Amino acid sequence: MATAADTIDGMPMTLFVVGITAVALIGIGSAVLNNKRRQVLVQFAASNHWFYTPRDDAQCARWQRSPFNNGFDRRATNVLSGKYRDRDMVAFDYTYKTRSADGNGGTGTQTHRYVVCALALPTWLPYLEVGPENVLEKLGNALGFRDIELESEEFNRRFRVNANDPKFAYDVLPARTLQHLLALPAHHWRIEGNSIVCWGSGRLEPVDLLARLNTLAIVVDGIPDFVWRDNGIAPTPQGGMP
């Protein structure tokens, strides 16, 4: 029979020790995996002549639309910065927390994780957002949220397009750009201020990051000269974005 000395709050000492050991091992294993992942990202940054910064929460305040400006305890970790195709870029793991009822009269905390990357633009451009079509977004259409229809029916089936000015969406996304985007993985991206930013659930991974940056570069490369002129930027002699 177990004595009081053999229990802690009614729990057998053996089970208590096993539980503490398991928690410690999980913590050690998580730390090892995070360290290995960090080393991979440091090496990846070096191979692309980028800088690696463990944490820079100033990145969390650069954009105001979802998923930014949500929740609390916002963090930007594993920050990569440098040049991608001669444009300033940044990429990072973005997390924030929210509270919700736990079913027992209390509240629980949930951590939301995103991978974020962005390219700098030479000037501020009007708002434009493109993302994969899904059931929730189709429901939004039914409730009156506008989805701009472009000239490609296939693109309209796969993506949702939002902009304050529909003409700006038509101008920025000519037929050739739509064709290129249809051949790539579907990513959620947005022109906001002087950046074009892409995000998605998950964590920063080298192959996925390059695919996201490529999508952003294709969009920017495809913006016609007159759009830059209309927004105060003269194209280069070769044409395209300066």
Could you tell me if 119 and 88 are in contact, meaning their C-beta atoms sit under 8 angstroms apart?
yes
Tell me whether residue 242 is in a domain: no
Rounded CA-CA distance 94/59 in Å is 9
Tell me whether residue 115 is in a domain: yes
Rounded CA-CA distance 108/153 in Å is 43
pLDDT in tens, 193-219: 999 999 999 999 999 999 999 999 999
Residue with tokens 């709050």: 9
Judged by DSSP in three states, 63 sits in coil
Q: Helix/strand/coil (H, E, C) string of 111-133? A: EEEEEEEEEEEEEEEEEEEEEEC
CB-based contacts of 76: which residues, under 8 Å, 6+ apart?
55, 56, 57, 58, 59, 60, 92, 93, 94, 116
The total number of structural domains in the chain stands at 2
Specify whether 139 is located in the same domain as 172. Answer: yes
pTM of the complete model: 0.82
Specify whether 109 is located in the same domain as 25. Answer: no
Give the residue among 118, 87, 85, 131 at the shortest CA–CA distance from 209: 118
The answer to which of 66-75, 168-177, 228-237 has the lowest mean pLDDT is 228-237
Tell me whether residue 238 is in a domain: no
218 in the Ramachandran plot: left (φ > 0), alpha (ψ -120 to 50) or beta? alpha
Specify whether 95 is located in the same domain as 171. Answer: yes
Specify whether 122 is located in the same domain as 64. Answer: yes
> What's the mean pLDDT in 71-77?
97
Rounded CA-CA distance 167/144 in Å is 19
Q: Tell me, what's the pLDDT at 43?
A: 98
Which pair of structure tokens corresponds to residue 85?
Answer: 């195709």
Tell me whether residue 240 is in a domain: no
> What's the mean pLDDT in 138-144?
49
Specify whether 220 is located in the same domain as 181. Answer: yes
Q: Tell me, what's the pLDDT at 16?
A: 52
Tell me whether residue 82 is in a domain: yes
Specify whether 102 is located in the same domain as 26. Answer: no
Specify whether 130 is located in the same domain as 13. Answer: no
Specify whether 133 is located in the same domain as 223. Answer: yes
Tell me whether residue 215 is in a domain: yes
Specify whether 31 is located in the same domain as 140. Answer: no
Question: Could you tell me the residue range of the domain that residue 13 belongs to?
Answer: 1-47
Specify whether 112 is located in the same domain as 223. Answer: yes
30 in the Ramachandran plot: left (φ > 0), alpha (ψ -120 to 50) or beta? alpha
Specify whether 26 is located in the same domain as 65. Answer: no
The CA dihedral of 190, 81, 230, 61, to the nearest 10 degrees, is 60
Specify whether 60 is located in the same domain as 164. Answer: yes
Cis check for the bond before 185: say yes or no (omega within 30 of 0). Answer: no
Q: Tell me, what's the pLDDT at 76?
A: 98
Top pLDDT among 200 and 134 is at: 200
